[in-house]
Amino acid sequence: MNHGQHFCGTSAHDISRRVFLSQSLAVGSGALLGTSGAVHALDEDALNAALKKTGRNVILLWLAGGASQLETWDPKPGRPTGGPFASIPTSVPGVHISELMPKMAKRMHRTTLIRSLNTGDGGHGTGAEMMLRGRKNEAALQYPDLGAIVAKELGRADSKVPGYVSFYSQTEGRGSGKLSPAFLGARYAPMNLDDGPMPPNLSRHDAITDLGHRDRARLRDLLSARFTSGRETDTMRSHSAAYARVHGLMSSEPLFDIELEPQWVRDRYGPSLFGQQALMARRMIEAGVSFVRVSRAWWDSHGQNFETHAEMVPELDHVMSTLMDDLDQRGLLDSTLVVAFGEFGRTPGVNASLGRDHFANAWSAAMFGCGLQGGAVYGKTDDDGNTVTEDEVGAGELFATILAAIGIDPDKEYHVGTRPIPLVNPGIKPIRSLLA
Amino acid sequence: MSTTRNFQIAEEKKVSRKDILFSLARVPGTTTVFCGSSDGTVYHADLAEEKPEPVALEGEIRHRPGGYVTGLALADGNRRLVSGAYDAQLIWWDTETKKPVHRVENAHGKWIRKVVASPDGRMIASVADDMVCRLWDAGTGKLVAELQGHRIETPQHYPSMLFTCAFSPDGARLATADKTGHIIIWDVASRKEIAVADASCMYTWDPKQRRHSIGGVRSLAFSPDGRTLVAGGIGQIGNIDHLGANARLRFFDWEKAVTLAEVEATESKGLVERLAFHPGGDWLLGCGGDNGGFAILIDPQSHKVIYEGKATFHIHDFSLTDSPDRFIAAGHNGLVVKKIAVV
């Protein structure tokens, strides 16, 4: 089956992502990226093999508003708190998940579950802030979020694509958690794609030709080189790097054009916005983006929890399983970690509106991909899901586990002035038994 | 607080429970009721007792624990009770022995939302989220017909839900209604769709803030003369995290395909889960709720709300008694007997 342009497979085409990007960006969007769909060509085996060697990436499926653990990963069928859904067996003997997730059930041997999150914060804003940082901000110190850390640690200094992209198309809860690179600096801030798949003002102005655009860049580079000669400072370097990134982004415009994906691939992800953005995330990971957050809001089902989950969980099941298969078939699952959680779970108790409320004391997260033991289920809750009974996990431990899975030492320290800032709070350790 | 004009509804008896009661059937001429629970069990109780204690119907056949029992209907001369649940099963029970006598294991492909009996008690209709209405012989439990006309998906490509159905008083017509507000009126004898009605005002799709849906038509009732069909649900919701809109009803002259009135109960939040006309047409009673419950009375002629009041809990089902000034309601954590009084 020919799903696009193929490399011949010789060593001559065993190029690195850096080489590919520099070549493709050098020729601009007209020759390679534009007409032949070079971004699509990134799906070639040789290139993906090279990409796989170069680094790891993360896709966060952010389940904003708080999905119910009882209707996903930790069902309690037949219990007073269990709700009406049954549980189904999975490909891991003895492990059952909600009947709403038959596709992930078949892929449980490649999935890692944590069923014992006790993060203690049932507020949308504060919970999101903590789950995205692994800890709460201090009054005098804001911590960088997960995406910013991954972009800094795994992003390539010479990358022309953004290191960190965030999709959040729904408006509810968009501001929760306040994505921020904090002291890492704006270089690691997310590119927010909230209102559409394409960054605003990305295209070259119609009045400027491609040749003119490149001539301007060369002139700026020439003048800049002369000016900075003998004046090497961080500011100068940052200034030049910023221009390079802008040019890189402009020439990688096809990266954001999902129409360049074959129809069968788009169909595979399904018609939902969440599915299409998950496909975008895969394209970005292939192109060298280190961290992509795909947000699916809004799970905050205080009323009609079961109908809301009947609507949204099958979509999650489809998107997660498709993403897993797609990454796997492209040889990217060994270099990409996919994590799915939100700011908290939902109460075991069912309220009079047949809703479940905020609950952070005993809930679940799911992950698959690089650095993890597939099929592992960590932690346990009681029969009704009210408390964690085994292997309690806090936001910090989850954060540390994610970092360790992608090869970042959670004990690494940054410095703000003279103050050392470890990536996770002192004493917090990753869950070693979940790491591959 | 009620906005009483001419009516008052007062609670006469309450049975507190820890489960949620979704369905109710009262044996005519008696004080016996059957109720369907969130624990997957059907209970019976004698409400004449000072402190009624619902007793579980037991047997080798039963619904799956946790399979909400959302439909109960007495049929075949009240000798049989038919229960339908989220486990997709229909179970026939002997009302004397309280034992199961027949089961259709996969009566539907998804959650059964409602089970009703034809007025003559000879036919059972069930609706489910597989979007099919099935007609069953009440005596034998044999499948008689399938009525298909509701769309499987909402316009936004999510699974739709077929919430409710109701027979006309003469049993010749059956109405079914879904999440998107689409209502179909069927000719029972020919199994043909003969009319449609639109209550899409009761379906809220939030495309931007939260990107999912809520609502739908939750209750239907034909007027005693069969000419008017009423749909109950909830109005458009701003914040779909909650059932945060007023209860809503839409009246149709279904034969003329005309909407007669739209009624919003301005002091009653949530879904209208059940509707029933006074046998003489004096009023229409609607009950439901959000985190709390409500009961409303509407004048069928003027379509005006003539009573609104809070109920003890979110009411999922009710049954008028032999004397229609009393009704028995089942819902969140309880069972109550209420009296409607003219004041």
Min Cα–Cα distance to chain B from A226, Å? 50
Chain A contact set for B270 (CB, 8 A): 353
Amino acid A306: pLDDT:
98
Amino acid A47: pLDDT:
45
Is the minimum CB–CB distance between A286 and chain B shorter than 8 Å? no
> Which pair of tokens denotes residue B62?
């039963």
For the cut 60, the answer to whether the pLDDT of residue A9 exceeds it is: no
Chain A contact set for B212 (CB, 8 A): 298, 308, 311-312
Using alpha carbons, select from B279, B182, B286, B281 the residue that is nearest to residue B232.
B286
Q: Please give the CATH topology (third level) of the domain spanning A58-197+257-434.
A: Alkaline Phosphatase, subunit A (3.40.720)
Mean pLDDT (chain B) is 96
Is the minimum CB–CB distance between A273 and chain B shorter than 8 Å? yes
Task: Determine whether the interchain pair B291/A352 forms a contact, defined as Cβ–Cβ distance below 8 Å.
Answer: yes
Is the minimum CB–CB distance between A383 and chain B shorter than 8 Å? no
For the cut 50, the answer to whether the pLDDT of residue A129 exceeds it is: yes
Min Cα–Cα distance to chain A from B242, Å? 4
Min Cα–Cα distance to chain B from A218, Å? 43
Beta-bridge mates of residue B32: B46
CA separation for the pair A161, A256 (Å, rounded): 11
Amino acid A375: pLDDT:
98
> Which pair of tokens denotes residue A330?
């492209």
> Which pair of tokens denotes residue B146?
């399938």
CA separation for the pair A86, B89 (Å, rounded): 14
* Segment among A79-83, B2-6, B65-69, B154-158 with least mean pLDDT: B2-6
> pLDDT tens digits, residue range A203-228?
667 777 777 777 877 787 778 777 77
Mean pLDDT of B219-233: 98
Is the minimum CB–CB distance between B14 and chain A shorter than 8 Å? no
Mean pLDDT of B176-205: 98
Is the minimum CB–CB distance between B105 and chain A shorter than 8 Å? no
Residue A224 identity (one-letter amino acid): S
For the cut 80, the answer to whether the pLDDT of residue B297 exceeds it is: yes
Output A49 or B67, whichever has higher pLDDT.
Answer: B67
- Which pairing describes strands B162-167 and B173-178: parallel, antiparallel, or unpaired? antiparallel
Task: Determine whether the interchain pair A303/B243 forms a contact, defined as Cβ–Cβ distance below 8 Å.
Answer: yes
Amino acid A22: pLDDT:
36
Binning pLDDT at 50, 70 and 90, where does residue B5 land?
Answer: low
* Segment among A115-124, A165-174, A188-197, A299-308 with least mean pLDDT: A188-197
> pLDDT tens digits, residue range B303-322?
999 999 999 999 999 999 99
Mean pLDDT (chain A) is 85
Min Cα–Cα distance to chain A from B145, Å? 27
The 3-class SS string of chain A reads CCCCCCCCCCHHHCCCHHHHHHHHHHHHHHHHHHHCCHHHHCCCHHHHHHHHHHCCEEEEEECCCCCCCCCCCCCCCCCCCCCCCCEEECCCCCCEEECCCHHHHHCHHHEEEEEEECCCCCCHHHHHHHHHHCCCCCCCCCCCCHHHHHHHHHCCCCCCCCCEEEECCCCCCCCCCCCCCHHHCHHHCCEEECCCCCCCCCCCCCCCCHHHHHHHHHHHHHHHHHHHCCCCCHHHHHHHHHHHHHHHHHHCHHHHCHHHCCHHHHHHHCCCHHHHHHHHHHHHHHHCCCEEEEECCCCCCCCCHHHHHHHHHHHHHHHHHHHHHHHHHCCCCCCEEEEEECCCEECCCCCCCCCCCEECCCEEEEEEECCECCCCEECEECCCCCCEEECCECHHHHHHHHHHHCCCCCCCEEEECCEEEECCCCCCCCCHHHEC
> pLDDT tens digits, residue range A33-88?
322 333 333 334 544 444 444 589 999 999 999 999 999 999 999 999 999 999 99
If phi over 0 gives left and psi between -120 and 50 gives alpha, with beta otherwise, what is residue B248?
Answer: beta
Residue boundaries of the structural domains of chain A: 1-54, 58-197+257-434, 206-252
Across the interface, of B67, B68, B241, the residue whose CB is closest to A301 is B241
Backbone angles phi, psi at B155, to 5 degrees: -60, -20
Chain A contact set for B22 (CB, 8 A): none
Task: Determine whether the interchain pair A352/B313 forms a contact, defined as Cβ–Cβ distance below 8 Å.
Answer: yes
Give me the percent of chain A exceeding a pLDDT of 90: 68
Binning pLDDT at 50, 70 and 90, where does residue A195 land?
Answer: confident
Interface test with B, best of A174, A176, A300, A302 (most B CBs within 10 A): A302
Across the interface, of A77, A170, A296, the residue whose CB is closest to B208 is A170
Amino acid A10: pLDDT:
30
Task: Determine whether the interchain pair A79/B66 forms a contact, defined as Cβ–Cβ distance below 8 Å.
Answer: yes
Mean pLDDT of A80-108: 97
Amino acid B1: pLDDT:
41
For residue A173, give every residue at least 6 positions away whose Cβ sits within 8 Å of its Cβ, in sequence order, or none: A64, A65, A124, A128, A297, A298, A300
Using alpha carbons, select from B74, B40, B75 the residue that is nearest to residue B57.
B40
Binning pLDDT at 50, 70 and 90, where does residue A238 land?
Answer: low
Amino acid B113: pLDDT:
98
Min Cα–Cα distance to chain B from A318, Å? 12
Amino acid A90: pLDDT:
98
For residue A428, give every residue at least 6 positions away whose Cβ sits within 8 Å of its Cβ, in sequence order, or none: A134, A394, A396, A397, A399, A400, A410
Is the minimum CB–CB distance between A310 and chain B shorter than 8 Å? yes
Amino acid A50: pLDDT:
47
Amino acid A239: pLDDT:
63
Min Cα–Cα distance to chain B from A295, Å? 11
On whether the CB atoms of residues B313 and B332 are closer than 8 A, the answer is yes
Task: Determine whether the interchain pair B159/A170 forms a contact, defined as Cβ–Cβ distance below 8 Å.
Answer: no
Is the minimum CB–CB distance between A272 and chain B shorter than 8 Å? yes
